[in-house]
Amino acid sequence: MKSLYSLIFLCCTVFPVQAAIEAYQFEDAATEASYKELIKELRCLVCQNQNLADSDADLAKDLRQQTYEMLIQGKSREQIVAYMVQRYGDFVLYRPPVKSSTLMLWAGPFALLLLVLVIVVLRIKKTRSIDAPEENSLNQAKQLLEEGQNNSETDK
């Protein structure tokens, strides 16, 4: 009876895993290598942090199929990339070219880092300049006390 409950529990908790395997036929190894290189360099527009090779999104499957068909038609790597960029913009590339429209993408992280460093340096300077007068005031107070003690000793 215990094994029957175990079997029922196992059937209810284990979901069938479905994975689609795409099998493309290539004319030669060079075309297959070009295909693999292209799908690793093109970004999945749905996932945004995965390339086409790693993504299981439907759009990624369509783009892989489209890339395969364009390679079979004899289009070059540059033609395929140009088509994808024309259709989906520079965002489809993991390494978009440096131009005026992508300048913020390339320079933005460095500008942000520079801004943070400037803020940190200014804060450090500000805290040091605030601490310095307090030390001077403390030193002045000590000098006054010593002078007062010296004056009182001389008065005696």
Give the tens place of pLDDT for each residue, 77-116: 999 999 999 998 888 887 878 888 778 878 888 999 999 9
Same domain, 110 and 131: yes
Better-scored residue on pLDDT, 103 or 60: 60
Q: Which distant-in-sequence residues (6+ apart) come within 8 Å of 112 by Cβ?
A: none
pLDDT of 14 over the 60 cut: no
Q: Residue 117: which domain range? A: 98-156
The enclosing domain of 27 has a CATH number of: 1.10.8.640
Q: What is the mean pLDDT of the chain?
A: 80
Pair (123, 148) in one structural domain: yes
In whole angstroms, give the CA distance from residue 128 to residue 122.
Answer: 10
pTM for the predicted model, two decimal places? 0.56
Number of structural domains, the chain? 2
Query: Does residue 68 lie within any of the structural domains?
Result: yes
* CB burial of residue 88 (10 Å; 0-12, 13-18, 19+): middle
In contact, 52 and 43? CB cutoff 8 Å: yes
pLDDT, average across residues 62-69: 92
* Residue pair 55/22 in contact by the 8 Å Cβ criterion: no
**C-beta of residue 23 within 8 angstroms of C-beta of residue 35:** no
Q: Are residues 40 and 71 in the same domain?
A: yes
Do residues 103 and 56 share a domain? Answer: no
Residue type, 45: L
Q: Is residue 11 part of a domain?
A: no
Q: Do residues 103 and 90 share a domain?
A: no
pLDDT band for position 11 (cuts 50, 70, 90)? low
Instruction: Indicate whether 61 belongs to any domain.
Output: yes
> Model confidence over 30-54: pLDDT tens digits?
888 999 999 999 988 888 788 888 8
Are 77 and 109 within one domain? Answer: no
Whether residue 61 sits in one domain with residue 34: yes
> Is 47 found in the same domain as 31?
yes
Q: Is residue 9 part of a domain?
A: no
pLDDT at 18: 46
The answer on 33 and 89 residing in a single domain is yes
Is the Cβ–Cβ distance between 35 and 26 less than 8 Å?
yes
Residue 3 lies inside a defined structural domain of this protein: no
For residue 109, what are its two tokens? 């992280």
Task: State the CB neighbour count (10 A cutoff) for residue 80.
Answer: 20
The verdict on 38 and 87 lying in the same domain is: yes
What pLDDT is stored for residue 79 in this prediction? 94
